Amino acid sequence: MAETDYYELLQVDRTADDKTIKSSYRRLAMECHPDRNPGCEISEAKFKSISVAYDVLKDPQKRAAYDRYGHAAFQQGGGGGGQGFEGFSDIFESVFGEFMGGGRGRGGANSALRGADLRYDLEITLEDAYHGKSEQIRIDVAAACDVCHGSGAKEGTSAKGCPTCAGHGKVRAQQGFFVVERTCPTCHGRGQVIADPCTACRGEGRVEKTKTLELKIPKGVDEGTRIRMTGEGEAGARGGPAGDLYVFIHVARHDLFQRDGTTLFVSAPIGFSTAALGGTIEVPGLDGEVHEIRIPPGIQSGKQLRQRGVGMPVLNGRGQGDLVVQVDVETPTHLTARQRELLEEFRTTETGSESPQAESFFSKLKGKLAGE
């Protein structure tokens, strides 16, 4: 006999959210509640049906199992001797096994397992980050045994299904109403046993090795950039695929340049006369070229001048950022007699307009002191 769809019973779409399902259930339950329909067998039967439907659809796990298997999700095994629960457990595990058991559903214990991912931290210079480079790195890693090719069994033999769990990796026992599941004590969850283990790896299928890898560092990498080397992580168990190696880049502090994304910053001291009269200075870049920076007359200390397109390269892209030169005006400290004479002569001709910021500051200060 065909059973009515739970969504039809509650009069909601299959995509309905929890709030909609709850609201519809309350409305229907009020309409056909036995207390409001005394002696009506049809209303009583409908009330029971919608209660069963709501009990399933309000539970995210039960709802997912119902969406996938329909009513069979709760009927498999016929209910004899607790097998109905066990049947549902199989379905539940196939639906949620990826989250609850790492993707190893029942019967999947003897499948090959992927190896762990590894991390390696590498420090490079800012010049390396600018130009990119190839770097050899050495790592200690659990690699597949060359003798047994990762199987763990002696050459000429192979692993066999565990007789205790029939290859499931788990055993179940019924305790009253409940079915208890635990890891197989014979194969320890692997689903297989090795009668004649490989002598090279003692049946593990993996051995510790030191590997030398060639790492290509692209231009423009920054602090914290992660480079993935596929398949260079730990070897998988029982011949499973290897994990990945993640190389985290750390850029060493530079003596001259500071970096913000693709922008390079550098401080350049200039002399008093260059600041006053203007001129040009030469700043070496990370590209190996010398860049000429024009200094406008009357520049103040701390002023930033931008040179377009000579900063850091864009990672995995085209073009470059900018070079920002911060000017620091240096006051002369060791003067010759002639230089001092010229500066004294300059001072006698000053009117205040040569340094408008200083003139404005002291004028305001005098006004404050005079109470203006």
Distance CA(107)–CA(111), nearest Å, equals 9
Q: Of the candidates 3, 5, 2, which has an alpha carbon nearest to the alpha carbon of residue 57?
A: 5
Distance CA(372)–CA(363), nearest Å, equals 11
Q: Read out DSSP for 34-57? A: TTTSTT-HHHHHHHHHHHHHHHHH
Distance CA(106)–CA(113), nearest Å, equals 14
Q: Of the candidates 204, 157, 153, 162, which has an alpha carbon nearest to the alpha carbon of residue 183?
A: 162
CB neighbour list of residue 309: distance below 8 Å, 6 or more residues apart? 319, 320, 321, 322
| Maximum separation of any 2 CA atoms in the chain, in Å | 121
Distance CA(17)–CA(58), nearest Å, equals 9
Is residue 145 marked as binding? yes
The answer to whether the beta carbons of residues 340 and 350 sit under 8 Å apart is: no
Is residue 184 marked as binding? yes
Is residue 40 marked as binding? no
Is residue 201 marked as binding? yes
Is residue 32 marked as binding? no
Distance CA(70)–CA(56), nearest Å, equals 11
Distance CA(78)–CA(98), nearest Å, equals 27
Distance CA(25)–CA(31), nearest Å, equals 10
Binding residues for Zn(2+): 145, 148, 162, 165, 184, 187, 198, 201
Binding residues: 145, 148, 162, 165, 184, 187, 198, 201
